[in-house]
Amino acid sequence: MSIIHLASVSGEDPTPADLAGIEREWPVIAADLAELDAEIARLSIGPAVSELDRRRVRRAEHVVLKAARELGHRVPETEDAA
């Protein structure tokens, strides 16, 4: 039993369609979180970053792009591509 009762901001609960949309996008959300974890780990290491750490970040980026493509999201261009 939760002792903290959180009311939604608008006073309405999400609709089944809202929940289905979140569920459909969950692979992208999870991939984004994994990429964030990899970036944090790389930044936490500091100047002693290894090639393996760089690969983890690149692999996480690849997973995000793949999940977004599968969902049909338009992947924003990076600054490097410009």
Residue 6 has pLDDT above 80, yes or no: no
Distance CA(15)–CA(61), nearest Å, equals: 31
| pLDDT, tens digit, 9 for 90 and up, residues 10-25 | 668 888 999 998 899 9
Distance CA(60)–CA(38), nearest Å, equals: 7
- For the segment 20-42, the average pLDDT, to the nearest whole number, is 93
Residue 82 has a pLDDT of 43
Task: Give the whole-number percent of the chain exceeding pLDDT 70.
Answer: 74
Considering the entire predicted model, what is its pTM? 0.64
Distance CA(55)–CA(62), nearest Å, equals: 10
